[in-house]
Amino acid sequence: MGNTTYHDRGIIKWAPFDALVGYHSLLKELRYRLNKNESPILSDDKQEELNRKLQIAVFKNVEIQIYYFEDGYTKTVSGRIHRLDWIKRKIILEGRYVLSANQVLEIDFTDS
């Protein structure tokens, strides 16, 4: 018998799967679903802190960065507050980006 050392073909061995229609989108969807997290529950103190930060941001008209929870992931948006809808519990940023207050996890001031 001759020399039978194994040579890994690397990514080439997966090339046949590349031909499958929807394979990459399926993998992307699976990764997305597997990495989702549960919605965090904020304490009353944290909610009061967020409300104070919102009021300061409106009063001083400063740019803020909002960390919010959506569809299993923490996301970020920046901007100035255009309007707060206390009845519907909505935050409307300039550019008309609308967030539910229930989504907000943290608020940071970006202006000095």
Q: What is the CATH number of the domain that holds 63?
A: 2.30.30.100
Question: What is the rounded distance in angstroms from the CA atom of residue 72 to the CA atom of residue 35?
Answer: 8
Task: Determine the structural domain holding residue 62 and report its residue range.
Answer: 44-109
Nearest alpha carbon to residue 83 among 96, 70, 73, 74: 96
- Is 57 within a domain? yes
* pTM confidence score: 0.70
Nearest alpha carbon to residue 66 among 11, 20, 110: 110
- Is 49 within a domain? yes
Is the per-residue pLDDT at 112 higher than 60?
no
* pLDDT greater at residue 20 or residue 91: 91
- Is 55 within a domain? yes
Token digits of residue 104: 């907000």
How many domains does one find in the chain? 1
CB 99 within 8 A of CB 67: no
The predicted structure's pLDDT at residue 1: 53
